Structure 1
Amino acid sequence: MVKSVIGDENQLKLVEDRLTRSAVPSQIGLVIGKLNSKLDRGFVYDLVPTPPNDAGEQPCSVIDGAGAVSKSKKKVPSKAKSQSESSSLFIDHDWVFEHARQVSRMLLGGMKVVGIYIWVSESLFKNSTITLCQTVIGVEQAASTMMDDVNERLLLHISYSPLRWTCRNCSLSANNTSGSLWPSDFKTGKILGSLQTFRCMHNFDLRLPIPRDDGSDIKIFSDALRNEIMVCAKELKGVKALIDGKLVAGDDLSLSDGFHEVDFLLPFMQDKYLEACNQKEVLGVLLLRGSVCSLSYLNSKEPVSQALVDIKEDIIRSLLSRLDIMCDEAERDVESVTGGDQGANSLSSEECIANFDLQAQRKQCSLSFPRRVFVPWLEGAYICDYIQSKETLEVLKDHCVELMSVEFPTDSSEILEPESEAPAVTASTGKTFWNVATDHSSPVDPRTSVSKTRKTGNGRPAKTADFVVLFAIFFLLVAVVVFNITGKM
């Protein structure tokens, strides 16, 4: 259990000033930070307010005893103590959860949505602990990660009467359906300025066979791809790594402050998919190729091994986020077409590919993942966002301002674009499995970047393999002839 929490004093001071200048009786938002179970310590980097919903309504409001919404904390009658005690707190849970889901996509390694904060009076907070605990649980489910081993989140209360900060730890049950609140020691200090930065460019070439109908639940393209990404997560979990060219063995490696390069020592491909399938059982193959640029941040109190855990999680989280973005876009496109009474043929292949049936598909389909870019955030740290192949950097502005309450840079050179080409995926069912599984130069849709994507597998083209086989046979024949001549002499 996290026993103590440290917040960045500069950022929290800015938040406090902003809230005290406001006239709102309540505000809810997300806590961005990190929880380390090994250190029993939590870190809070910033508090991000949840924006108004699409109708312009605030996600959090105070309802007095008469059922009216309080517009200002200054309008509470002095003689209405009993009415104040009967006031309740309304929270638009779905909107707060959606905010948490989208913000979690924009955070890099070592930074997560670790809870919520609430700006209300002391009495109203005491009357709303059940509602707030349910909100914390929902936020955890919306922003959860597959490699997170911490089953607790933070509830940060900022009271304006009197002005003070208190932190509570919400310990979650095994199935994340209930939780209990415990007080945590909360203090401030300088955190963001002392973070170490780790960068990794991870290259991959994954191939998943598309089987005939065998009763498997994984038939839809997006489900198969999600399953393949989780296979990648398992492979990454146990690999060794180099930091600044030095092998990491435990936590003995000493590092200087600042920036560090990470390289994973991946095992050679063993063609395990080829060994498990044969041509009669397989219709085609799903190929996922590309490079993911990952950034991660480490506190000075944390061990070096934690940086590798954060980098690995960030890589997988980035791939899953891109897949979710594609599925969300496809769903919106289908709804817009349906609402316009247009035919399904008006959708492009990239819009339909997320939901097509792999076993029913009889042609090759290709598309690019959204590309990851990095936007300046706080004291040298970055957040990320994703842009589609036809989008420009202008689409990032609204996301950063609305979701993260961060000022978007006026100079585009401050935005980092290390992924010159996005990861790409190809579903090939028009060829036999063996041709596709060994072909690194199969034709693709020219509108995508698959043909240009960096290839890191050890498979060789079919022509090269045939030449090697013929050369081996020729060499064997020559050896037999020489042996016979030598024997006769």
Structure 2
Amino acid sequence: MVKAVVGEETRLQLAEDRLAQSAIPAQVGLVIGKLNRKLDRGFIFDLVPTPPNDAGDPPCSIIEPFKADKKKNSKPKSSPDSSSLFVDKDWIAEHARQVSRLLVGGVKVIGIYVWVAEIVFKNSTLVLCQTVKGVADAAFSLENDFQEMLLLHISYSPRRWTCRNCSVSSNITSSSLRPCDFKMGRTLNSLQTFRCSYKFNMRIPICGENLSNAKMLKDVLHDGISLHAKELKGAKAIIDGNLVDVTAEEPCTSDDVHDVELLLPLNLSAEASNQKDIVGILIYSGTVCSYSYLNSKEPISQAVADIKEDIIMSLRSRLEIISDEADRETVAAFEDGSGTNIESFSKGSVYDIIQQPLRKQCILPFPRRVFIPWLAGTFICDYLLPTEDFEALKDHFVELLSMEAPEDLSTLLQPEKELPSLTAKSFWDVVAPSHRASDTAYTDSKSQDDVVKGESKRLTTSNFNIIFAGFILLIAIISGLLFHARNSN
């Protein structure tokens, strides 16, 4: 359980000043940072307000019930002691889901913050806990094992900060909140940077059972990524040329950028060999560039774990982006009246590939990962589809993170040279080369048999001639002996 939390004072103070100047009665948003259960500590890097929903309504508002005055003909008046907070839990959870895609190794959505008066907060603890639970379910995690998140309250009446630990592993009640120590300090300047360029080549079998159950291609790929996550979990790590013990608890003392190389174990994809009804194969390959940030109090093994998780999360994020693109194609097709059936989608479209069972060979490029400068020399990321350019980033960052994308494109990092791509092949396309080799081998074998038979035939003829000549010679000798015996008599 997280017992102490340190918030980046430069960012939190800036957020408090912004909220105080806005004079709004309530605001809710996401807390970005790190939680370390081994240290029982949390680190807050920034606060990100949740934008208005599609209808333009704010994600939270104050509900002020009215009660009638005892005097006759008096108008109802509000009771500040009974005011509570309305929260759009689903919208905040969706915000958390999309922001999680933009974060790199170890940096996560670790809770929510709320700017509201003290009395309103006390009357709204249950709905706020439910909101935290929704954010925990929506935010990305490799094991989906969020057990606790933070609820940060910024009170303006009276002005103070309080932080609570919210348990999200059980049924949410008002008793799910536990106070924890909170203070402001410097958390960003002490971060250590780790980077990794990871090449992967997944060969995911598609079974006839999946097709008979109408399992979508995206579901098969999701299962393949989950299997690769298990393999990656056992990978050894080399940091700056030295093999690292992933169970060691030593901190990292160098301030330089550390290069990480992952070495996968040799016994890969053992489950694939057990499949008997393989009808196709997905070849998902490419390069994933990953960054992670380590607090000075965290062990170096945590950086390795964060890198591994970030790689898998990046692969899943790309799959979700492709799936979202397919959904948009579906909506657009039905809006213009052309999407009445599956055949109406153009051949090779995202929907035609990712939303359908494997029926033919296809090639699908995935978005590339771009890194954008964030805070104190750190990076966040975004993904660009092959048809998009950097202009698509600007509105994205304004909407999701309340920040401007850099105007100078030279500050962006594009380290992924070999973009991830998916190739789907039917079973016969995969085994055809081996069939041709088999046919060749059969032809060669047949030719060799003909040669052997010919040699055998010639050998048989030669042997017959030798025996026949010997038989004639034997008759001649016997005849000579009989003739000589007759003359002697």
Q: TM-score range by the shorter chain?
A: 0.7 to 0.9
Q: Which structure 1 residue ranges, 5 or more long, are not aligned? A: 68-79, 440-461, 471-489
Please say if residues 278 and 427 of structure 2, whose CA atoms lie closer than 8 Å, have aligned partners that are also in contact. Answer: no
The alignment partner of 1:200 has SS state of strand
Is the aligned partner of 1:86 residue 2:82?
yes
Aligned to 2:155: 159
Q: Secondary structure at the match of 1:170?
A: strand
2:305 pairs, out of 303, 309, 332, with 309
Q: 1:266 aligns with which of 264, 267, 270?
A: 264
Shift of 1:253: 7.0
1:379 to 373, 376, 379: 376
Q: Does the CA-based 8 Å contact 1:133-1:179 persist in structure 2?
A: no
The runs of 5 or more residues in structure 2 that have no matched partner are 68-75, 445-489
Residue 355 of structure 1 corresponds to 355
What per-residue deviation string (whole Å, max 9, x for no partner) do you get for residues 158-186 of structure 1? 00011100001001225789970011100
Per-residue CA deviations over 1:125-148 (Å, capped at 9, x if unaligned) read: 001001101100001101041236
TM-fit CA distance, 1:399: 1.0
Structure 2: distance between partners of 1:304 and 1:163: 38
Contact map agreement 1:8 1:46 (CA 8 A) in 2:
yes
Matched, 1:337 2:343: no
Do the aligned partners of residues 81 and 286 (structure 1) sit closer, same or farther apart at CA in structure 2, a change above 3 Å counting?
Answer: same
Change (3 A) 1:214 1:81: closer
| 1:85-143 superposed Cα distances (whole Å, 9 cap, x missing partner) | 12221111121111000000100001000000000000000010011011000011010
Residues 359-386 of structure 1, C-alpha deviations (whole Å, 9 max, x = no match): xx1x201111111101111111111100
Q: Structure 1 residue 116 and structure 2 residue 112: aligned? A: yes
Partner of 1:418: 415
| Aligned ranges 1:117-196 → 2 under 5 Å | 117-147=113-143, 149-174=145-170, 180-196=176-192
1:294 aligns with 2:293: no
Match of 2:243 in 1: 247
Say if 1:172 and 1:178, in contact at 8 Å, map to a contact too.
no
- For 1:347 and 1:107, the matched residues in 2 are separated by 34
Q: Alignment partner for residue 196 of structure 2, among 183, 187, 200? A: 200
Structure 1 or 2, whichever has the larger Rg, is: 2
Counterpart contact for 1:229–1:319, Cα < 8 Å: yes
Q: Aligned equivalents of 2:369 and 2:241: distance in 1?
A: 25
The aligned counterpart of 1:228 is 224
Moved more, 395-404 or 340-349: 340-349
Q: Which has the higher helix share?
A: 2
**Contact 1:208-1:228 at 8 Å conserved across structures:** yes
- Change in 2 beyond 3 A, CA 1:191/1:109: same
- Matched residue, 1:21: 21
Percent identity between matched residues is 54
How many angstroms apart in 1 are the aligned matches of 2:318 and 2:269? 26
| TM-score calculated relative to the size of structure 2 | 0.82
Farther-moved stretch of structure 1 (420-429 vs 169-178): 169-178
Alignment partners' CA distance in 1, 2:365 and 2:398: 26
CA 1:130–1:178 in structure 2 vs 1: closer, same or farther (change >3 Å)? closer
How far did residue 214 of structure 1 move?
6.8
* Farther off after superposition, 218-227 or 115-124: 218-227
Structure 1 residue 220 displacement after superposition: 1.1
**Structure 1 pair 271–329 and aligned structure 2 pair: CA distance change class (3 A):** closer
Question: So what's the TM-score if we normalise by structure 1?
Answer: 0.82
- In the alignment, the residues of structure 2 paired with residue 347 and residue 134 of structure 1 have an alpha-carbon distance, to the nearest angstrom, of 43
Deviates more, 1:105-114 or 1:217-226: 217-226
The residue identity in structure 2 corresponding to 1:287 is I
Aligned residues: 427
Report SS of the residue matched to 1:349.
coil
Contact 1:35 1:150 in 2 (8 A): no
Match of 2:41, as an amino acid? R
Are the structure 2 counterparts of residues 318 and 244 from structure 1 closer, same or farther at C-alpha, using a change threshold of 3 Å? same
Letter in 2 for 1:52: P
Alpha carbons of structure 1 residues 379 and 274: separation in structure 2 relative to 1, 3 Å: closer
* Secondary structure, counterpart of 2:209 in structure 1: coil
| C-alpha contact 2:232 2:308 (8 A) present in aligned 1 | yes
Distance 2:261 2:92 in 1: 37
For the residues of structure 1 that align with 2:220 and 2:267, how far apart are their CA atoms?
20
| Maintained 8 Å contact 1:350/1:366 | no
Whichever residue aligns with residue 256 of structure 2, its letter is G
